[in-house]
Structure 1
Amino acid sequence: MLTANRLPRWTPAVVAAGSIAVGCGIGAAAGLRSHLQWGLISALLFLVGGYLISARVEGRRQAKDRFATSVVWVAFILAVVPLVSLTVYTIQQGIGVVNGNFLSHSMKGVIQSGPGGGIYHALLGTLQQVALATLMAAPLGLLTAVYLVEYGRGRLAKAVTFFVDVMTGVPSIVAGLFILSLWNLALGFSYSGFSGSLALAILMIPVVVRSTEEMLKLVPNELREASYALGVPKWKTILRIVLPTAIGGITTGVMLAVARITGETAPVMMLVFGADYINSNPFDGPQQSLPMYIWQQYSVVNNDFGYARAWGAALVLIAFVMGLNLIARGIARWRSPKGGH
């Protein structure tokens, strides 16, 4: 039987405020020093308290619905809090170091345990290595996805799909070992930024394939059929109709793949080696990157200057990845199909 009893819309906010107050009180009384423990207690009180109040006023059926909604909100907050905390802490630790000198100088001639130095050589190396990996992986991933969606049939398509799935879970160290064995040891090429780019491209390809494949599947078949009905060949339909329609999602997928490889350290350590000087040629000699720079600076024990430089480089790396995501969203919104009004 339906009932007219309903809790006010502000009830969850009041329950949340009360749960936080009681949770903090319990944590303080119990001598718990971690604010995370206080938060978990508050979240548990919010779930239980919200369910009991709703069950009392609205009945068990509505209470279960409110409980499920509360679980979603708690899970969302538990996911967001670490991300926000990490970003805020990185800004606090690194903002004091990031300046024009830090961005325009290398570590050449700078003592690891002393002041000074910058990340220009590491930032340049990261940009070049990621750009080379993108130039190799993006076309291969795009063409592979087009084959799987538009042409792929039979055993070959299943085999390609299987290997793409396997490559998605390949650890970065395995990709580095593969390039080290094939490119450096078997073929005899020297360590360079390009060697690292090859390993990064291997890690990037499955991400591009999967994201592009999903975007191409979202293109309505009516668009393809209308193009075929006008006598347009399949390859031209893909080039003129399918790809432009999905270009926003494809670009977003490529940018996410770029963000995924930007922070990789293991392949760079194995194949690029790192350097404290500026090397603008990714095809010759060791080259630095931001992830390896952070590891090197933080690995020096009891070095406040190195710690500060590491946090500054981490802040720049986060800003770089965030910028890529913002660009991807802007392109996706700009190139998304516009409906008529």
Structure 2
Amino acid sequence: MTTTVTSHRPRPATTPDTLRTKRLPRYAAPAIALAALLVAAAVVLGAGIGNWVLVVVLGALLYLIGLYLAAKAVEGARSARNRTWSALIHSAFVLAVLPLASVVWTLLSKGVERLDGDFFLTSMNNIGARDANGGAYHAIIGTLEQVGIATLITVPLGILCAVYIVEYGRGKFAFAIRFFVDVMTGIPSIVSGLFVLAFWVLIVSPWFNDGRPSFSGFAAALALSVLMLPTVVRSTEEMLRLVPAPLREGAYALGVPKWKTILRVVLPTALPGIVTGVMLAIARAAGETAPVLLVAGGGAAINFNPFENNQSSLSLFVYQQAGDASRFSPARAWTAALTLVALVLILTIAAKLLARRNRLGR
């Protein structure tokens, strides 16, 4: 009896090199981008058919085509599509950031010219067209008072309205409230100014001013409240709907009343989102010009009383200085615009820091 011995060849060991696929080198994408820009510049500038904007657009298009062809030749069609779509996503991000970066750079470069103590501590009272001095102190005071009063009016009303819609509202009445809030979201600012002008300035204010209509910062705050209210309501409503139902059910199971559950559980949980919505509304109100012009009248003097006489704001100050014939006005307008953006940024950061102190929102 013979025994057949079968010899088995050892399989080759799998090494990391055998698992690797061909990939483009790291310098390939920058090299393709540089070549695409050079070709685009040669075509556009050489033919005289455009400027650097067209160079960038054509260069981006050539870069995508070149990247796809190079990746397809080395890595395959699937990887080439992946690289192309990734490049498109990054390009969209850059396009979204460029306008913001441009605005910030323009504000900083042109707004620092009058960024001094005189600008923040003086007004435009008795400042002529040939005077280089003058500042926005009166406008800063007006903005803080008008937006502050509008916030005090709007935030409680908006939050309570959103709580009713989410927690209590049922049927046609809640649907009607939601519908009119959506309609108010698209109201132009000039309409809110005309409404307050027709109602408060021409009808109500004469009762307190010996029968004469009177402009005031409080009237501007009412107009800004009309603009802020739908933003606060909608943002708060969405944040309240995102609160998990088990949080409410757990509180109800422990015997906590519904109003206390809303006050102690639901609102603190949704507080960071509510603060974000409130700050969006404040930012919109601080940048409105038409309502302040219609019902506050503007003015060059400092007025600390928002219930009497004309009052200005930073947005109205920018509008007036941008249209002034003085050669010193553009610098004031740019510095006032930078001040307005910085003020909104400071308020947003402060509100975010306060919201982080919320125990349930961490």
Q: TM-score, normalised by structure 2?
A: 0.87
1:231 and 2:255 correspond: yes
| Deviation, structure 1 residue 99 | 0.7
* Alignment partners' CA distance in 1, 2:43 and 2:91: 19
For the aligned residue pairs, the C-alpha RMSD in angstroms reads 2.2
Aligned pairs (5 A) from 1:103-118: 103-118=120-135
Structure (1 or 2) with the larger CA radius of gyration = 2
* Alignment partners' CA distance in 1, 2:304 and 2:21: 72
1:121 and 2:144 correspond: no
Question: Secondary structure, in 3 states, of the residue corresponding to 1:304?
Answer: coil
| Deviation, structure 1 residue 338 | 6.5
Question: Secondary structure, in 3 states, of the residue corresponding to 1:191?
Answer: coil
* Alignment partners' CA distance in 2, 1:298 and 1:338: 43
* Alignment partners' CA distance in 2, 1:333 and 1:296: 39
Question: Secondary structure, in 3 states, of the residue corresponding to 2:328?
Answer: helix
* Alignment partners' CA distance in 2, 1:155 and 1:232: 29
Aligned pairs (5 A) from 1:1-341: 4-8=21-25, 11-31=28-48, 34-189=51-206, 190-301=214-325, 303-335=326-358, 337=360
Aligned residues: 337
CA contact (8 A) 1:192 1:285 kept: yes
Q: Does the C-alpha gap of structure 1 residues 338 and 146 become closer, same or farther in structure 2, counting only changes over 3 Å?
A: closer
Q: Does the C-alpha gap of structure 1 residues 338 and 114 become closer, same or farther in structure 2, counting only changes over 3 Å?
A: closer
* Alignment partners' CA distance in 1, 2:323 and 2:184: 31
Structure 1 gaps, min length 5: none
CA contact (8 A) 1:32 1:38 kept: no
Amino acid at match of 1:185: L
Q: TM-score, normalised by structure 1?
A: 0.92
* Alignment partners' CA distance in 2, 1:3 and 1:153: 61
Question: Secondary structure, in 3 states, of the residue corresponding to 2:309?
Answer: coil
CA contact (8 A) 1:251 1:331 kept: no
CA contact (8 A) 1:248 1:334 kept: no
* Alignment partners' CA distance in 1, 2:261 and 2:43: 65
Structure 2 gaps, min length 5: 1-18, 207-213
| Deviation, structure 1 residue 224 | 0.5
* Alignment partners' CA distance in 2, 1:276 and 1:152: 47
CA contact (8 A) 1:248 1:331 kept: no
Give the aligned partner of residue 16 of structure 2: none
* Alignment partners' CA distance in 1, 2:106 and 2:311: 29
